[in-house]
Amino acid sequence: MTSAQLRGRDRTARISLYAVLVVGLLFVVGPFVWMALAAVKPEREIRAVPPTWLPETWTLDNFRELFTRLDFPTYFVNSTLVAVLVTVGNLMFCSLLGYALAKLNFPGRKALLLIVLGMLMVPGMVLFVPQFVLVSNLGLANSYAGLVLPYLAGPFGVFLMRQFLLSIPDDLIEAARVDGAGEWRIFWRVVLPLCRPALATLGILTFLSSWNNFLWPLVVATTEDKYTLPVALALYSIGENRTDYGLLLAGAVVVVLPVLVVFLVLQRHFMRGIATTGLK
Protein backbone atom coordinates (compact mmCIF):
# COMPACT_ATOMS: atom_id res chain seq x y z
CA MET A 1 0.00 0.00 0.00
CA THR A 2 1.45 3.36 -0.95
CA SER A 3 1.39 6.21 1.51
CA ALA A 4 -0.99 8.15 -0.73
CA GLN A 5 -3.49 5.29 -0.63
CA LEU A 6 -3.07 5.11 3.12
CA ARG A 7 -3.79 8.79 3.48
CA GLY A 8 -6.86 8.39 1.29
CA ARG A 9 -8.16 5.60 3.50
CA ASP A 10 -7.49 7.72 6.56
CA ARG A 11 -9.50 10.56 5.12
CA THR A 12 -12.51 8.33 4.42
CA ALA A 13 -12.24 6.86 7.89
CA ARG A 14 -11.99 10.28 9.44
CA ILE A 15 -15.03 11.60 7.60
CA SER A 16 -17.15 8.61 8.51
CA LEU A 17 -16.04 8.80 12.15
CA TYR A 18 -16.98 12.46 12.33
CA ALA A 19 -20.31 11.72 10.69
CA VAL A 20 -21.12 9.05 13.28
CA LEU A 21 -20.00 11.23 16.19
CA VAL A 22 -21.89 14.31 15.05
CA VAL A 23 -25.10 12.35 14.49
CA GLY A 24 -24.61 10.79 17.92
CA LEU A 25 -24.07 14.20 19.49
CA LEU A 26 -27.26 15.49 17.84
CA PHE A 27 -29.22 12.61 19.36
CA VAL A 28 -27.76 13.18 22.81
CA VAL A 29 -27.50 16.96 23.09
CA GLY A 30 -30.41 17.73 20.73
CA PRO A 31 -33.12 17.01 23.33
CA PHE A 32 -31.47 19.43 25.76
CA VAL A 33 -31.35 22.19 23.15
CA TRP A 34 -34.95 21.39 22.19
CA MET A 35 -35.94 21.64 25.85
CA ALA A 36 -34.25 25.01 26.34
CA LEU A 37 -35.81 26.44 23.17
CA ALA A 38 -39.28 25.11 23.96
CA ALA A 39 -39.11 26.56 27.47
CA VAL A 40 -39.06 30.07 26.01
CA LYS A 41 -41.96 29.46 23.60
CA PRO A 42 -45.61 30.07 24.45
CA GLU A 43 -47.62 26.88 25.08
CA ARG A 44 -49.48 27.24 21.76
CA GLU A 45 -46.23 27.29 19.81
CA ILE A 46 -44.81 24.35 21.76
CA ARG A 47 -47.69 22.26 20.48
CA ALA A 48 -47.59 23.56 16.92
CA VAL A 49 -47.67 21.02 14.09
CA PRO A 50 -45.32 21.19 12.24
CA PRO A 51 -43.00 22.25 15.06
CA THR A 52 -41.01 25.46 14.95
CA TRP A 53 -37.28 25.21 15.65
CA LEU A 54 -36.36 28.64 16.94
CA PRO A 55 -39.15 30.31 18.93
CA GLU A 56 -41.27 32.67 16.81
CA THR A 57 -42.34 34.41 19.99
CA TRP A 58 -39.79 34.58 22.79
CA THR A 59 -41.36 34.58 26.24
CA LEU A 60 -40.39 34.08 29.84
CA ASP A 61 -43.99 33.33 30.88
CA ASN A 62 -43.19 29.70 31.56
CA PHE A 63 -40.47 30.64 34.01
CA ARG A 64 -42.69 33.27 35.60
CA GLU A 65 -45.29 30.59 36.25
CA LEU A 66 -42.74 28.52 38.15
CA PHE A 67 -42.87 31.27 40.74
CA THR A 68 -46.59 31.96 40.69
CA ARG A 69 -48.25 28.56 40.17
CA LEU A 70 -45.48 26.59 41.87
CA ASP A 71 -43.15 27.57 44.67
CA PHE A 72 -39.88 27.05 42.86
CA PRO A 73 -37.72 29.30 45.05
CA THR A 74 -38.48 27.08 48.04
CA TYR A 75 -37.66 23.88 46.17
CA PHE A 76 -34.50 25.44 44.85
CA VAL A 77 -33.36 26.44 48.32
CA ASN A 78 -34.22 22.98 49.67
CA SER A 79 -32.25 21.23 46.94
CA THR A 80 -29.26 23.49 47.47
CA LEU A 81 -29.34 23.20 51.25
CA VAL A 82 -29.56 19.41 51.18
CA ALA A 83 -26.86 19.05 48.54
CA VAL A 84 -24.46 21.40 50.35
CA LEU A 85 -24.93 19.72 53.72
CA VAL A 86 -24.54 16.24 52.23
CA THR A 87 -21.41 17.30 50.35
CA VAL A 88 -19.75 18.96 53.34
CA GLY A 89 -20.60 15.98 55.55
CA ASN A 90 -19.14 13.49 53.09
CA LEU A 91 -15.97 15.50 52.57
CA MET A 92 -15.40 15.67 56.31
CA PHE A 93 -16.42 12.21 57.49
CA CYS A 94 -15.07 10.28 54.51
CA SER A 95 -11.65 11.94 54.59
CA LEU A 96 -11.35 11.30 58.33
CA LEU A 97 -12.18 7.63 57.98
CA GLY A 98 -10.27 7.32 54.72
CA TYR A 99 -7.16 8.62 56.48
CA ALA A 100 -7.63 6.27 59.41
CA LEU A 101 -8.08 3.27 57.12
CA ALA A 102 -5.17 4.12 54.86
CA LYS A 103 -2.58 5.48 57.28
CA LEU A 104 -3.37 4.62 60.88
CA ASN A 105 -2.97 1.20 62.37
CA PHE A 106 -5.61 0.47 64.99
CA PRO A 107 -7.55 -2.56 66.21
CA GLY A 108 -10.72 -3.19 64.21
CA ARG A 109 -9.43 -1.45 61.13
CA LYS A 110 -9.68 -4.41 58.76
CA ALA A 111 -13.19 -5.32 59.89
CA LEU A 112 -14.34 -1.73 59.51
CA LEU A 113 -12.88 -1.54 56.01
CA LEU A 114 -14.66 -4.75 54.99
CA ILE A 115 -18.01 -3.62 56.37
CA VAL A 116 -17.86 -0.19 54.78
CA LEU A 117 -16.77 -1.47 51.38
CA GLY A 118 -19.25 -4.34 51.55
CA MET A 119 -21.97 -1.73 51.86
CA LEU A 120 -21.09 -0.45 48.40
CA MET A 121 -22.91 -3.48 47.04
CA VAL A 122 -26.17 -2.87 48.90
CA PRO A 123 -28.75 -1.27 46.64
CA GLY A 124 -30.76 1.75 47.74
CA MET A 125 -33.96 -0.23 47.32
CA VAL A 126 -32.99 -2.54 50.21
CA LEU A 127 -32.23 0.41 52.44
CA PHE A 128 -35.07 2.79 51.97
CA VAL A 129 -37.90 0.96 53.77
CA PRO A 130 -35.97 0.45 57.05
CA GLN A 131 -34.36 3.89 56.70
CA PHE A 132 -37.79 5.40 56.46
CA VAL A 133 -39.02 3.44 59.50
CA LEU A 134 -35.95 4.60 61.43
CA VAL A 135 -36.22 8.23 60.41
CA SER A 136 -39.93 8.42 61.18
CA ASN A 137 -39.42 6.73 64.57
CA LEU A 138 -36.81 9.36 65.36
CA GLY A 139 -39.46 11.94 64.56
CA LEU A 140 -37.51 13.22 61.57
CA ALA A 141 -39.95 12.47 58.75
CA ASN A 142 -40.55 15.54 56.61
CA SER A 143 -37.57 17.41 58.06
CA TYR A 144 -34.23 18.59 56.71
CA ALA A 145 -32.47 16.28 59.17
CA GLY A 146 -34.43 13.35 57.77
CA LEU A 147 -33.50 14.34 54.22
CA VAL A 148 -29.80 14.72 55.01
CA LEU A 149 -28.75 12.30 57.78
CA PRO A 150 -28.80 8.99 55.86
CA TYR A 151 -26.56 10.48 53.18
CA LEU A 152 -23.95 12.22 55.33
CA ALA A 153 -21.62 9.23 55.52
CA GLY A 154 -21.53 7.16 52.34
CA PRO A 155 -19.24 4.22 51.69
CA PHE A 156 -18.27 5.41 48.23
CA GLY A 157 -16.50 8.48 49.63
CA VAL A 158 -14.48 6.33 52.01
CA PHE A 159 -13.45 4.08 49.16
CA LEU A 160 -12.37 7.05 47.03
CA MET A 161 -10.48 8.82 49.83
CA ARG A 162 -8.75 5.66 51.02
CA GLN A 163 -7.60 4.75 47.52
CA PHE A 164 -6.18 8.21 47.08
CA LEU A 165 -4.50 8.32 50.50
CA LEU A 166 -2.79 4.98 49.91
CA SER A 167 -0.81 6.67 47.15
CA ILE A 168 0.55 9.35 49.52
CA PRO A 169 3.95 8.26 50.91
CA ASP A 170 4.03 7.30 54.59
CA ASP A 171 7.34 9.12 54.94
CA LEU A 172 5.63 12.50 54.75
CA ILE A 173 3.35 11.68 57.65
CA GLU A 174 6.15 10.00 59.59
CA ALA A 175 8.41 13.02 59.15
CA ALA A 176 5.70 15.34 60.46
CA ARG A 177 5.29 13.05 63.44
CA VAL A 178 9.02 13.21 64.14
CA ASP A 179 8.73 16.97 63.91
CA GLY A 180 6.35 16.75 66.81
CA ALA A 181 3.09 17.49 65.03
CA GLY A 182 -0.01 16.00 66.62
CA GLU A 183 -2.25 13.63 64.64
CA TRP A 184 -4.97 16.19 64.09
CA ARG A 185 -2.47 18.76 62.95
CA ILE A 186 -0.92 16.26 60.53
CA PHE A 187 -4.33 15.44 59.11
CA TRP A 188 -5.37 19.06 58.79
CA ARG A 189 -2.10 20.64 57.63
CA VAL A 190 -0.31 17.86 55.75
CA VAL A 191 -2.81 15.27 54.57
CA LEU A 192 -5.87 17.31 53.57
CA PRO A 193 -3.97 19.81 51.39
CA LEU A 194 -2.47 16.87 49.50
CA CYS A 195 -5.95 15.40 49.05
CA ARG A 196 -7.31 18.34 47.12
CA PRO A 197 -7.82 16.48 43.82
CA ALA A 198 -9.63 13.62 45.55
CA LEU A 199 -11.72 16.02 47.61
CA ALA A 200 -12.68 17.92 44.48
CA THR A 201 -13.78 14.75 42.73
CA LEU A 202 -15.73 13.52 45.75
CA GLY A 203 -17.30 16.93 46.25
CA ILE A 204 -18.57 17.17 42.69
CA LEU A 205 -19.86 13.61 42.58
CA THR A 206 -21.62 13.97 45.92
CA PHE A 207 -23.17 17.33 45.09
CA LEU A 208 -24.54 16.10 41.78
CA SER A 209 -25.90 12.84 43.12
CA SER A 210 -27.58 14.67 45.98
CA TRP A 211 -29.02 17.32 43.64
CA ASN A 212 -30.43 14.58 41.41
CA ASN A 213 -31.50 12.23 44.21
CA PHE A 214 -35.11 11.29 43.83
CA LEU A 215 -36.44 8.28 45.75
CA TRP A 216 -35.45 9.34 49.26
CA PRO A 217 -36.74 12.93 49.17
CA LEU A 218 -39.86 11.59 47.43
CA VAL A 219 -40.51 9.35 50.42
CA VAL A 220 -39.36 11.64 53.26
CA ALA A 221 -40.67 15.04 52.11
CA THR A 222 -44.42 14.94 52.55
CA THR A 223 -45.34 18.63 52.49
CA GLU A 224 -44.46 21.07 49.75
CA ASP A 225 -42.21 23.22 51.92
CA LYS A 226 -39.73 20.29 52.12
CA TYR A 227 -39.84 19.20 48.46
CA THR A 228 -36.63 19.24 46.49
CA LEU A 229 -36.67 20.30 42.83
CA PRO A 230 -36.86 16.81 41.30
CA VAL A 231 -39.65 15.78 43.67
CA ALA A 232 -41.70 18.89 42.96
CA LEU A 233 -41.21 18.56 39.21
CA ALA A 234 -42.03 14.84 39.19
CA LEU A 235 -45.12 15.13 41.35
CA TYR A 236 -46.42 18.04 39.32
CA SER A 237 -45.76 16.26 36.05
CA ILE A 238 -47.44 12.97 36.93
CA GLY A 239 -50.57 14.67 38.19
CA GLU A 240 -53.31 15.90 35.88
CA ASN A 241 -50.83 18.53 34.65
CA ARG A 242 -48.75 15.97 32.77
CA THR A 243 -49.09 17.71 29.42
CA ASP A 244 -48.54 21.23 30.74
CA TYR A 245 -45.33 21.29 28.70
CA GLY A 246 -44.36 24.93 28.95
CA LEU A 247 -44.23 24.92 32.71
CA LEU A 248 -42.67 21.45 32.91
CA LEU A 249 -39.91 22.24 30.43
CA ALA A 250 -39.08 25.49 32.20
CA GLY A 251 -38.91 23.51 35.45
CA ALA A 252 -36.62 20.97 33.81
CA VAL A 253 -34.33 23.80 32.68
CA VAL A 254 -34.12 25.07 36.26
CA VAL A 255 -33.27 21.55 37.51
CA VAL A 256 -30.63 20.98 34.84
CA LEU A 257 -28.96 24.37 34.61
CA PRO A 258 -26.95 24.42 37.88
CA VAL A 259 -25.74 20.89 37.21
CA LEU A 260 -24.78 21.83 33.70
CA VAL A 261 -22.69 24.77 34.91
CA VAL A 262 -20.94 22.74 37.63
CA PHE A 263 -20.31 19.90 35.23
CA LEU A 264 -18.99 21.99 32.36
CA VAL A 265 -16.66 24.00 34.58
CA LEU A 266 -15.30 20.98 36.43
CA GLN A 267 -15.60 18.25 33.83
CA ARG A 268 -11.88 17.41 33.89
CA HIS A 269 -12.00 16.43 37.56
CA PHE A 270 -15.16 14.61 36.88
CA MET A 271 -13.97 12.44 34.02
CA ARG A 272 -10.78 11.60 35.90
CA GLY A 273 -12.80 10.55 38.92
CA ILE A 274 -15.08 8.33 36.85
CA ALA A 275 -12.26 6.72 34.92
CA THR A 276 -10.19 5.94 38.00
CA THR A 277 -12.89 4.81 40.41
CA GLY A 278 -15.31 3.35 37.92
CA LEU A 279 -18.27 4.59 39.88
CA LYS A 280 -20.88 7.29 39.60
Partner 1 sequence: MSGPTTTVVDAKPAAPPRKVGDRPAKRASKWRRAVTGWAFATPFTALFLVFMALPVVASLAMSVTDLRSTDLRNPLAVNFVGLDNYTRLFGDELFVRSAANTLVFVVVGVPLTMVLALAAASALNSGLIRFRALFRVGFYLPVVTSIVAIAVVWRFLLDPEAGLVNNLLRLVGVDGPAWLGNTDTALPSLIVMAAWRNFGFLMVIFLAGLQGIPQHLYEAATLDGAGRWQQFRNVTVPLLRPTLLFGAVVTGIGFLQVFEEPFVMTQGGPLSSTLSVSYHIYNQFGFGNYGYAAAASYVLFVAIVALSVLQFRLLGERD
Task: Return the residues of window 134-153 that contact partner 1 according to CB under 8 A.
Answer: 134, 136-137, 149-150, 152-153
60/129 with CB nearer partner 1:
129
Q: What's the closest the beta carbon of residue 60 comes to partner 1, in angstroms?
A: 18
- Alpha-carbon distance of 77 to 226, in angstroms, equals 10
> Does the protein bind partner 1 through residue 88 (CB under 8 A)?
no
Is residue 39 within 8 Å of residue 63, measured between CB atoms?
A: yes
What's the angle, vertex CA 279, arms to CA 151 and CA 147, rounded to 5? 15
Contact with partner 1 (CB under 8 A): which of 34, 67, 197, 265? Answer: 34
> Does the protein bind partner 1 through residue 77 (CB under 8 A)?
no
Q: Which of residues 174-203 bind partner 1 (CB under 8 A)?
A: 174-179, 181, 183, 187, 189-190, 193-194
> Does the protein bind partner 1 through residue 122 (CB under 8 A)?
yes
- Alpha-carbon distance of 240 to 47, in angstroms, equals 18
Q: What's the closest the beta carbon of residue 234 comes to partner 1, in angstroms?
A: 5
Neighbours of 211 (CB within 10 A): 22
CA of residue 207 relative to chain centroid, distance: 5
- Alpha-carbon distance of 227 to 235, in angstroms, equals 10
Contact with partner 1 (CB under 8 A): which of 54, 106, 110, 240? Answer: 106
Question: Residue 242: what residue type?
Answer: R
- Alpha-carbon distance of 86 to 206, in angstroms, equals 7
> Does the protein bind partner 1 through residue 8 (CB under 8 A)?
no
34/67 with CB nearer partner 1:
34
In angstroms and rounded to an integer, the radius of gyration of the C-alpha atoms of the chain is 24
60/271 with CB nearer partner 1:
271
Q: What's the closest the beta carbon of residue 191 comes to partner 1, in angstroms?
A: 9
